[in-house]
Amino acid sequence: MNSPAKISFASEPTGRIHYPALDGLRGIAILLVVFYHNFGFSNYFFFGWLGVDLFFVLSGFLITDILLKTKNSPGYLKNFYGRRVLRIFPLYYLSLFIFLIVLPRTDGFPIDLSYYINNQWWFWAYLQNWFLIFFDAGNTTTMIQHYWSLAVEEQFYIIWPFVILLIRKPGRFLVFTSLLLLGVISARFIIWQMHVKEFNYFGLYTYTRIDGLCIGSMLAVLMKINSSFLRKYSSVVVFTLAGFNFLFYFFNRRHEFSFPYLAIIGYTTFAIVFALVVYEAVARENKIINFILGIRLLRFFGKISYGLYVFHWPVYLILYKYADNWIHKNLAIADQYAQTSTSIALTLTGIAVSIISFYGFEKHFLKMKKLFA
């Protein structure tokens, strides 16, 4: 291996490499989120919130990987932002138009969105995570509440290309991101010391949730310099840390943010686990992990994951009353199974909507990304 002092982030003209295994990871991430939301009444999917953290790690890794490989190419910033806009903005703003402008004006619409409509500019500006904190709106259930994570990612996308441009040496980049992680953990520690035990404060601030994105970014850099530590110890660390984390969380899940480990460093340690899984799949080509991530259905869900993330919860909340009433009236199902049946039906409906969204809407914009190759 070359001396780290001589390593620089070489740019590759082609820039973008597709990692098929990561489509499977996206599929796992979106299914975790969907089952956590749509089947939250059961205790089987209490860990589903981890899907968001997995998305953060994947985004940090993939975005940094692209930026490292294209940063010396002509039109670096234009191409990056152009491709991001085409992937994210069309569906996001279409959904805001539907949920904040069209549907609330429909007679008999079952959800009161007046508070969100009156403050909708936060969503149009991708600042909704701060809105949910400042106005304590994160404690109310509404169909676009989950958009907070889209805001965190978008704020990251705006800043990160400049970080890659300005910090050119791998060692300095790793020091910078390590300091960011220390700042994130310190912020969560301060919040916990102030006896604030609500998810809004631990889970929605950009600076308390950017650790997953940073860890994904660090992985991209460590892979670029062919880290000997990752090569030697990644398998041991990922399985040890994963086992510890999941056991620890399982036995303390009722305490969640009132328990210091989960509140202060839980997000970070889970993000490290996910980053090492990414490494095992991409760099080491771990046969077991790649076999699981190669399942076609998982990769399909990974492909439609953005639309499914956007639509699964609104579809569930908007149609729940109607679907539940219909199932009770028309199907001979015991009451204890009716809610599960309703959730299954609405989950399948959300999947159908996201498939239509991908092939009927999103794909047209994805084809335009070649303009920013």
CB 100 within 8 A of CB 119: no
User: Which of 127 and 203 is assigned the larger pLDDT?
Assistant: 127
Q: Provide the residue type at 27 as one letter.
A: G
Please, which pLDDT band fits residue 16 given cuts at 50, 70 and 90? low
**pLDDT at res. 115:** 81
Residue 220 has pLDDT above 60, yes or no: yes
With tokens 């794909």, the residue in question is: 363
With a CB cutoff of 8 Å and minimum separation 6, the contacts of 230 are: 222, 223, 276, 279, 283
- Tens of pLDDT, residue by residue over 319-373, are 999 998 898 888 878 777 888 999 999 999 999 999 999 999 999 999 999 999 7
Residue 184 has pLDDT above 70, yes or no: yes
Question: What distance in Å separates the CA atoms of residue 120 and residue 270, rounded to the nearest whole number?
Answer: 33
**pLDDT at res. 12:** 42
Residue 179 has pLDDT above 90, yes or no: yes
Q: Which has the closest alpha carbon to 143: 156, 128, 133, 126?
A: 128
Q: Which has the closest alpha carbon to 45: 57, 31, 55?
A: 31
**pLDDT at res. 196:** 62
Q: What is the mean pLDDT of residues 281-306?
A: 93
Q: What is the DSSP string of 228-295?
A: HHHHHHHHHHHHHHHHHHHHHHHHHTTTGGGSHIIIIIIHHHHHHHHHHHHHHHHTS--HHHHHHHT-
- Tens of pLDDT, residue by residue over 137-158, are 555 667 898 999 999 999 999 9
pTM to 2 decimals? Answer: 0.91
User: Which of 348 and 260 is assigned the larger pLDDT?
Assistant: 348
Q: What is the mean pLDDT of residues 216-220?
A: 96
Residue 164 has pLDDT above 50, yes or no: yes
Best-predicted range by mean pLDDT (91-95, 114-118, 202-206): 91-95
The overall average pLDDT reported for the chain is 87
User: Which of 254 and 290 is assigned the larger pLDDT?
Assistant: 290
Tokens of 267: 């997000």
Nearest-Å Rg of the Cα atoms of the chain is 21
**pLDDT at res. 137:** 57
Residue 15 has pLDDT above 70, yes or no: no
Residue 105 has pLDDT above 80, yes or no: yes
175: enclosing H helix or E strand: helix 170-193
Residue 11 has pLDDT above 80, yes or no: no
